[in-house]
Structure 1
Amino acid sequence: MAHRIYANELETLHDCVETCNYCLESCLEERDVKMMVDCIRLDRECAAMCSFLAEAMTRDSAFVPELARACAVMCKACAQECEKHKHEHCQECARVCFECASMCDRLAA
């Protein structure tokens, strides 16, 4: 039943996971991968955090507000790192992560 209550939020989290994973894979194909290391790491961590929050939401966990707060921090960090890079995949990831962070901030309130 919780998945119905959180349908929009789960979709936002799923979009963020997909976008972070795409950004991560795309960064690995860039010429100067060393320059992308922080972006790759944050993409991976952000995707994992969003996945974990989505799982907690489907279980209707009592910890959703706390997890959402942590997820917002992670999404903002990922977005800020992605913004530093001019690649289209990084810019898209930044946009999606900022949207997800806003949603997480609302959940945490």
Structure 2
Amino acid sequence: MKKTFALSHDKHQPARLVDLIKHEIKKYLNRERRKNLPQGTDYWTFDCRFGASKDVAEKVFTSEINKHIDAALAAQWPSFYIEILARAANHQPRAGFDADDNE
């Protein structure tokens, strides 16, 4: 998902519009997580960028997207850009953890 969202609308109040945007992003994340994983991978991870425009967008964690949207609304940005790219990955074993110790 690479999209610019406007924070103003004819029919919706800004707070309601933010709820609609958050819901759309949540639906996208859930839809991507339901896709079949490629062979040899464990889970889907997401590379996210957020900013006032595509040129100034910075990396953010998936868990921080809602905080950034709220901050954009508080700063009265006219719009914001969000980029979420799904990537299949493998869990890394914990350092110092031996699978034989678990038995």
Under TM normalisation by the shorter chain, which class is it? Answer: 0.3 to 0.5
Q: Which is greater in Rg?
A: 2
Give the alignment's TM-score, normalised by structure 2. Answer: 0.36
Name the structure where strand makes up a greater proportion of residues.
2
Name the structure where helix makes up a greater proportion of residues.
1
Give the alignment's TM-score, normalised by structure 1. Answer: 0.35
